[in-house]
Amino acid sequence: MSDDHPLLRSYGRIKSRTIKPRQAALMETLLPQLRVPEGPIDPAALAPGAAEVWLEIGFGGGEHLAGQAARRPDVLLIGAEPFQNGVASALRHLDEQGLTNVRVHDGDARDLLARLPDASLDRVFVLFPDPWPKARHHKRRLLQADTAAELARVLKPAGRLRFASDWADYVDWTLERVSANPAFRWTAERADDWRTPPADHLTTRYEEKRLGDCAPVFLDFVRT
């Protein structure tokens, strides 16, 4: 998109409280080592030999990102998060656990998606994104028809997309827009499939706060 029509921000603030000294030091030392390089991205070059490549969009404090990376050391996880306090927190988790199979994009995920090649990802997580609950702000939500199209482009056939939210309206919004794309199939067969956390889900402290207006809902889609 041209500079005359920049993308609307799909996230709120970039930074809140002062970053703790240890985390600030990791921002200076560890982040440059893990940051996704500029320009077109070749996931195979980021982690030669990785069995799969997963992307988490909006990883918050990094608990889920680090937990999945620890579970699957054979997988490259790319995390995108513009909130600097969240990036700093994630770096602490990665450093404490000695995880080397994670790369970080500390910016807008849509910029990252645009630089990924077709059919390059095996899995995408979008967990509890900013809900933008007011109707006039819905255009700022991450999950739009064009985002669904980009996710379809970068996912491999049979690749998986997981969306989770505790805002009922955003769940309906996402289900409508992703299901409208013929490249995706919603995998649910019964209510428990979206009401019960998937077996491989990792609950974070943010999720436990229950800041939305409903119990967490999990939508799993497969790239057809």
Contact in structure between 223 and 178 (CB atoms under 8 Å): no
Residue 100 annotated as part of some ligand binding site: no
Output the CA torsion 64→184→190→218 (10° steps). Answer: 20
Positive or negative, the Cα torsion across 35, 161, 65, 209? positive
Q: Is 81 annotated as a binding residue?
A: yes
| Alpha-carbon gap, residue 210 to 207, rounded angstroms | 6
Strand order of the sheet with strand 184-186? 102-105, 75-80, 52-57, 121-127, 155-165, 217-223, 184-186
- Which tokens belong to 214? 């409903």
> Does the annotation flag 220 for ligand binding?
no
State the catalytic residues: 130
207 is in an annotated binding site: yes
Q: Are strands 121-127 and 52-57 parallel, antiparallel or unpaired?
A: parallel
Tell whether residue 134 is among the known ligand binding residues: yes
Residue 56 annotated as binding site: yes
Alpha-carbon distance of 121 to 159, in angstroms, equals 7
End-to-end CA distance of the chain: 28
* Number of CB atoms found within 10 A of residue 75's CB: 18
Known binding residues for S-adenosyl-L-methionine: 56, 81, 108, 130
Known binding residues: 56, 81, 108, 130, 134, 166, 204-207
Known binding residues for substrate: 134, 166, 204-207
